[in-house]
Amino acid sequence: MAHPAPPPRGPIALSPALRRANLARLASESFDLLVIGGGINGAGIARDAALRGLRVALVEKGDFASGTSSRSSKLIHGGLRYLEMGDFRLVREACKERDRLRRRLAPHLVKPLPFLFPVYSGDPVGLFRLGLGMWAYDILASMRNIKMHRRLSPRKVASLEPGLKQDGLKGAEIYYDCATDDARLTLETIMGASGEGAVVVNYVNLLEFLKDAGHIVGARLHDEQSAQALEVRAKVVVNATGPWVDEVRRLDDPATRPCLRLTKGVHLVVPRARVGNRFAVVLRSPRDHRILFVIPWEDRTLVGTTDTDFSGSPDAVGVEPGDVAYLLEAVNAFFPDARLVPGDVVGCFAGLRPLAANDGAIDPSAVSREERIIESPSGLISVAGGKLTTFRLVAQSVTDKVLRFLPRKTAATAKARRRSKNLPLPGGVRTANGNRARSAQQEAARDDYLSQRYGARAPEVMALMQHNADLASPIVAGMPYTKGEAVYAVEAEMAQKVEDILRRRTLVEVRDQDAADRVARELEALIAPLLRSREAKPPAT
Ligand code: FAD
């Protein structure tokens, strides 16, 4: 098949040619830092370290964000729940980061979302205590949150959220956090790292560490796409593999004790018309009083999450009938007209929280969500936990540790520490006149949708569709994602497989698993020639 349009030429395009060139660089250059894992933490560390002038490489065994970072609740939040645990510092930091992401780093990907928190008679936290928590939340956000919280009477709740159970309702609070696309936030962070010189490659697995006198000096890797092994040299290696952190630590030292306790979090996607929720609503599970969310997602509602201990391989995490029953029970209890049954679930996903092991808590929901950074005698630095929201702070701490192994770099990079705070991710970049990049066509609804997903990069996607009208047609009828985005995903976002496009570059599969299955073959036919033709050509200069 002829190539449908000229490939995008943006400075940060993660093209097939760049992937090939990066593989060659991995094998031939020597790096200050090798990051294993392309979730939000690995991406953030690569960006932070590259911004400070280090020579950085990052490898990811699957697609970028294919682990926990595409299976979260997709919220950028201060963590109201952590107030209950008395974790004020965590909440304050998260609130600051939420605002920084929304205002400066990724305004196209981080959008305000109002939450309605109803209180019923018999709830463990009454209206008075919830109100105090709300004040604390606003104060910890330095009163700069999207809007201040406000109290609602039961009558007002009934008019704003008519489908919500009225029986026993005492009132509610409305407060604000943000929603995001977790996989795209991760991808843009990877692009940001690449734009600063980091050598990033997906579908490259860590096989073993290379050591010199017991100290790690590099790694043996395997490129799944070419089925070839390669060796990379690096002064420091960071293990940012989330739920796989212990697996990778055992490659370094088979006798090492696990540092993680994995808990599984499941989300379901159901038609929003069935639930009827207008707001993001905070619920308490009727079974165990755990906090759950019902989040509006255009014509869908996202319901989550469970929190149960998990002991299998992180590669095998999945959604069980018991998870579905637990979540549907809660939605049906609070939205009595929903009457959802498992057959109404159109999409679902399960992720693993890499929590700190042995902190004494029996209830998984009570284990601290803070990150852990562990240094091994071999020099391996492992990081696990944290939140999507606070990835930039975790990245800063990890790079600070890395710099201790590279003493001569410290002075040169001290000033650069602040850059990660203010530099927008690639799609969040403003144009010279101070406005976010817009074009005349962007006034149309589809183009608005593209700017919301791609920000300043939207014109590159539009250019593909203008060149070839067929690419303006949707991947699935009724969904906003176009074939042009699928082509762009291959040409500029390092997508290698159909599932990368259906699950992470777009959300087709999450919104409708059956529809994703139906279009998979057609999509394969569209992208296969793009991957093949790019593979055959020499790297772009
Ligand atoms: P991951 O995203 O899992 O990345 C690790 C990567 O390492 C994976 O992509 C994996 O493929 C790769 N890898 C593993 N082994 C190897 C190897 N041998 N070689 C190469 N690569 C390898 N946070 C929020 O801020 N907001 C939320 O709403 C929110 N909701 C959540 C809901 C749930 C159910 C869960 C589980 C978490 C949630 N979080 C949320 C937390 C947040 O999602 C995680 O903290 C974050 O995604 C962890 O990112 P990570 O990079 O550490 O791990």
Output the residue whose Cα is nearest ligand 1's atom 12. Answer: 37
Residue 39 contacts residue 17 (beta carbons within 8 Å): no
Output the residue whose Cα is nearest ligand 1's atom 16. Answer: 61
Q: Which of 27-36, 199-208, 450-459 has the lowest mean pLDDT?
A: 450-459
The preferred substitution site among 34, 71, 72 for testing ligand 1, maximizing ligand atoms within 8 Å of CB, is: 72
Output the residue whose Cα is nearest ligand 1's atom 51. Answer: 39
d(CA 282, CA 304): 10
Q: For residue 434, what pLDDT band results from cuts at 50, 70 and 90? A: very low
Residue 539 contacts residue 17 (beta carbons within 8 Å): yes
Residue 147 contacts residue 47 (beta carbons within 8 Å): no
Mean of all residue pLDDT scores within the chain: 90
- Cα 94 from chain centroid (whole Å): 15
Reduced 3-state DSSP string for 460-526: HHHHHHHHCHHHHCECCCCCCCEHHHHHHHHHHECCCCHHHHHHHHCCHHHHCHHHHHHHHHHHHHH
- Is this structure's pTM higher than 0.75? yes
Q: What is the pLDDT of residues 260-298, one digit of tens each?
A: 999 999 999 999 999 999 999 999 999 999 999 999 988
Q: What is the pLDDT of residues 327-344, one digit of tens each?
A: 999 999 999 999 999 999
The preferred substitution site among 77, 308, 310, 388 for testing ligand 1, maximizing ligand atoms within 8 Å of CB, is: 388
End-to-end CA distance of the chain: 25
The helix/strand/coil state of 171 is strand
- Looking only at the bridges linking them, the beta strands covering 204-212 and 215-223 are antiparallel
Q: Which of 131-135, 403-407, 414-418, 479-483 has the lowest mean pLDDT?
A: 414-418
Q: What is the CA radius of gyration of the chain?
A: 23
Confidence check: pLDDT of 236 > 90: yes
The token duo for 37 is: 């894992």
Q: What is the pLDDT of residues 63-102, one digit of tens each?
A: 999 999 999 999 999 988 888 878 888 899 999 999 999 9
